[in-house]
Structure formats: C-alpha cells, structure tokens
Chain A
Amino acid sequence: MKSLDRTGWITVGVMLLLGVLPPFFYWIGNEFYLLLATRLVILAIAAVSLNLILGYGGMASFGHAAFVGIGAYAMGIPVYHEFYGGFSAAASTNGLFQLALSVGLSALFALITGAISLRTRGVYFIMITMAFAQMVFYLFQSLDEYGGDDGLVIEMRSELPWINLDNPLQMYLLAFLSLVLAMGAVHMIVNSRFGMVLRGAKGNDERLITLGFNTYLYRLTAYVIAGAICGYAGWLMANFSTFVSPSMLGWSRSGELMFMVILGGAATALGPVLGAAAFILIEEILSSFTVYWHLPFGLMLIGVVLFARGGLLGMLQGRGPGK
C-alpha cells in the first residue's frame, strides 16, 4: 500500500473526526450534534454520488435531488401501505425490501432519464436534468394519496437485522459507515480502467471516441451508479426524518447539492464531505441569526463562484484559490 500524501492525511483526519466526535457528543448527553451530524453525513453521501458524475465525469446534473426524493418515497410508500392498506404488493416495513426498492427505482430513473439527457451536452444537459427532476417533483405533488404537497409522514423506520434505526447512535453509525463505503466505492471506480475512461472523456471526449471507447455508455453507467448511491442516501434520509415531501426533491435542493460539491472541491474524495459540512454549518449558524438566512447564503454562493475556485479542499491543501 502506497503511503498517504497530504490530501490523503487530511481525508483520513476529517473522517476520523466525523466518526468519533458526534458519538462522543451523544455520549456526554448532547444529542443535538449527533442529529446534525447524521443529516450532514446523509447529505454528504448524496454529494459524493453527485461528485462522481459532476466532478469526475463532467456531467453537471442539476436534478440530483430527484434521486434523494425517489429513494425516500420508495422507503415511505411501502410503510404507508403496510399501515393503511391498499397496494399490498408494495406494503412492507422490511428495510432490505425498501432499500432494494429505493436503490432499484433510483437506478431505473437514472437509466431512463440519463439515456435521454446524455445525448446532449453542456447547458442542455444542465437544463434537462433539472426539468426531469421537476417532473418527479410535480408527480409526487399531484399524488394526493401520498400527501401531495404536504408530504408523507412515515409511521415506522425500516426494520433491519441487528440494527435498530430508532436508536440515534445506531442510525448515525450506519449513515457514517455508508458514507465511508460510498467514498471508497467512488474512489475505486474513478481509479479503475472504467474511471480512467470516464475522466478522459471529461477532458477530451473526441479523443476517447477515436480510441474506440463508447463514451456514452461509460457516462450512462456512471450516471446510473450515482443515481443508485443517491437513492440509498434518500432511503437513509427518509429513515432519519421519518417524513418525505416533494420539497425534498425540488430544484433548490439540487442546487444545494451542487453547491456542496463545488464548495468542497469537485473531483476530490473529501471535497463533497467538506462541502456538506460547510453547508450544514452555514445553514445552522445563519438561520440562528435571521429567518432571512438565504440572503447571506446566496451572497456567499456568488462569492464562492467568483473568488474561491478550487474549493475548500484546495484551500486546506494550501494551493489557494485558482490553483
């Protein structure tokens, strides 16, 4: 195993802190920080999955929150039918069944919409992914049985072997381990032959095509993998908040995910995690001062785009903005 460089040490350090600190707070009786960290970690999983396509693949998806929503509804709807009857084929409180449904449906949605959107490039791709996400938003908004605009209260968390999700510490540890696994998976993917082609196609698509690679299929595969991981994050999110509503997959949620990846540092392993952490902190701190916290947040976002290219990780590495 090759020794770690500076970025590697930062990554290990941050992840160790994230693994130890929130349980420690819980242990000394401060549950609030554990819950905050749970949300952070789940958002980080979604951001890690977006980073695979946005950072490494160069596919600027502005509809990534749709996968969170699909994953969350795929967890909530079986519980709803278990409690209130109707559509018995999908009624279940079995976590593994719900998980398969969340990941499977997200991957399927990614396959269908990705097959269409990836025929286009650049700004078309941004707008189309956004439009498809909004389509799902309007779909769930119009489904009155599942609460429509008001959302769906999930009566019971997923039943899993060995793990009790009603216990906040177990919930956190599951989410944290999932994040580590997701980061590991993305790391393995981007450093595999498949990942090399994906990154190569981001740099120079025509050259890769000339070399005989069907880059469309590589992109689509990456898109489906990212969708599946993000659907998993949605399943976790539904279990964490025991509530799902269309606003979870609105386009401002997608924008926030994008912000996390760019702020933290796109195409880096730790970037999305740092971005998610920064987002949660900014949200917590600003919203404690004012209900109009979106105003300074918006200004901050503009500032990040104008001045902080390279993201937080770039700053930590001491390369400074703009490399």
Chain B
Amino acid sequence: MDLRPVDTTLLFIQILNGVQLGLLLFLVASGLTLVFGILDFVNLAHGSIYMLGAFICASLTFLVGNFLIAVLLAVPITGVIGYLIERVLIRHLYARSHLDHVLATFGLILVIDTTVQIIWGPAGISVPLPDWLNGQTELFTGVIVPTFRLIIIAAGLVVAAGLFWLVNYTRLGMLIRAGASNSTMVSALGVDIKTLFSLVFALGAMLAGLAGMLISPITEASINMGGEVIITAFVVIIIGGIGSMKGAFVAAILVGLIDTLGRSFLDDVFALFMSQNAAETAAPAISAMLIYILMAVILALRPQGLFPPKVR
C-alpha cells in the first residue's frame, strides 16, 4: 500500500477554507433560524436575498469604486428590501401552514431571481477587491493564504459575536427571545410585535445579504448562487436544531469543514483501501453527498437536531 504523506500546510489551508465556508453558512443560516424561531416562518427565498445582496454590492462597488464602502451601503439596502418584503407579503402568511410558506416563498424566489436577471443580465458579475485585500498573507513560515479569506473569517466571527450580544444582552434581543417564547404575551405587554417581526425579518435579510457580499469577490455574483446556498443552509439548521442560534453556529462550522475537507482529501482517504482509479471515480460522488449523509446520520440519532430549542 502506498501511503502518501499528509501535506500539513495544505491541510491547514483547507481547514481555514472550511472555517471560512462555515462562517458564511452561519451568516445565512442564522437569519433562517432567527426567522423560523421567532416568526415560525419558513423562508425559502432567503437564498435569493443572499444573491440580491451580492448583486447590489457588485453594482455599488463599480459605482463608488471601493468594495468596503459598497458593503457598508449594501447591507442597509438589503435590510430595507427585507423589511419591504415582510410588509408586503410575508406578514400575511404567518397564520398559514408551513406548506403555504414554502409555496409562496418559492414563488418569491422566481420573482426575485427573474427580476435580478432582468436588471443585471443572465451572466455573473465579478467583484474587484482593493489591492490591499487582494494579496496574500504569510501566517507563518510556508503557510500563505489569501488576505481576503482571513477578512471573511474575521468578519464572520465579529458578526457572530455581535449577534450573540444582540440576542442575549440587549433590550431588542430580550424582546426577540420573549417573542420566540410567547409572542401573544409580548404583544399584550404593550410591545409592537408587528414592527418587531418586521425588524427580525430585516435583520435576517441583512445577514444573508452580507454573506452574499462577502463571497462575491471569490465566486462572483451569479443568479444561481442563492439556490445553491439555501439547501446547504437548510442542512445546517436541520443539523443544529431549527430555531437554535448556537446549533446553527456549531452545525455551520461542522458542515463547512466536512464539505471542504471531503472535497480535497476524500480521494486520498479512499486510496488507502481501494485502487487509485476507483478512488478518483468514487470520491467526487461521495464528497458531493457527504453533508447530506452527515445530516441523515444525525437525524437518525437525534430527529430534532443537535441543539433542539427548549420552547416550541
């Protein structure tokens, strides 16, 4: 048997990539789980908002000439769009079944995606980075990583920390948690629950939009990026337990790592016990399914996910 030595530098870089993917997934999944946990609403169109954020940011980058300023402008714009969507459509669906939520937001996906296609055209838009973000950083000897990936990781961690602070230590967070447990009681205590719901939805939209903006310089803004991320985000919140912020974080990092490491190292692992040829055929197919297999295993053991919310 021919054992290839594991390249530790490559392994480290792939772990970093996995963490970066996980943090982006967390940004998307946290909005989903927030909206589900508090509004009891299934938003299939969450991925479309992620995609919309990327396109708005791309246009603003060309308009103002700086990616960072574009992000700072695009995040509130995405929030406003989310707010409007909630006011016009979503709030009329809260009393309906989850099936109705899914169907209506499926319609919303078609509307948003086609609108984006009409405005920006069918091709993707690549987003240029400022020079100081576009380079490489040597973390320690021999380990060179793109600077922007580090920025994504930092931004993801900051937002995650901010979100935990917001939900656990602010008045708004207290209302959000109270609304999740018993929204009727909160509204009876004189809180404008409708506005609170709109704000939560807008917050979710901003988080998804930010994730889309952060990924766009790497992958470019494209129409089908929303559809790709939403399923993975679903897998994340199913594994984490729908409605649980902590679950979303743990599951997002887990899914990010497993997906990235699976795609880069599974063929080496397979080569240990099958021929190189067979490993190279089987590995891409299995690694494409890896996170779903993970989901199936976790669900078989814990049908409510890793961290099921206590109150539901």
Residues of A within 8 A of B (CB): 60, 62, 113, 116-117, 119-120, 122-124, 126-128, 130-132, 134-135, 138-139, 141-144, 250-252, 255, 258-259, 262, 292, 294-295, 297-302, 304-306
Contacts and interface: CB of A to CB of B under 8 A. Distances in A.
Interface of B: 36, 42, 89, 92-93, 96, 98-100, 102-104, 106-111, 113-115, 117-118, 227, 231, 234-235, 237-238, 242, 284-285, 288-289, 292-293, 295-296, 299-300, 303-304
Task: Indicate the member of A127, A141, A250 with the most B CB atoms within 10 Å.
Answer: A127
A123 to B, nearest CB: 5
B106 A259 contact: yes
A117 B295 CA distance: 10
Contacts of B118: 292, 295
A262 B98 contact: no
- Interface SS of B by simple majority: helix
Task: Indicate the member of A113, A250, A295, A305 with the most B CB atoms within 10 Å.
Answer: A305
- Interface SS of A by simple majority: helix
B34 to A, nearest CB: 14
Given A116-B300, A119-B299, A144-B284, 20 more contacts: A60-B102, A116-B296, A119-B300, A124-B242, A128-B238, A128-B299, A130-B231, A134-B231, A138-B289, A139-B285, A142-B288, A252-B106, A252-B109, A258-B103, A298-B111, A302-B104, A302-B108, A304-B103, A305-B100, A305-B107
A127 B289 contact: no
Contact of B234 (A131, A259, A306): A131
B238 A298 contact: no
A251 B108 CA distance: 15
B114 A294 contact: yes
Contacts of A117: 299
Nearest to A250: B227
A116 B111 CA distance: 33
A298 B99 CA distance: 16
Given A128-B238, A131-B292, A142-B285, A300 B107 contact: yes
Given A292-B118, A299-B111, A306-B104, A135 B299 contact: no
A258 B237 CA distance: 23
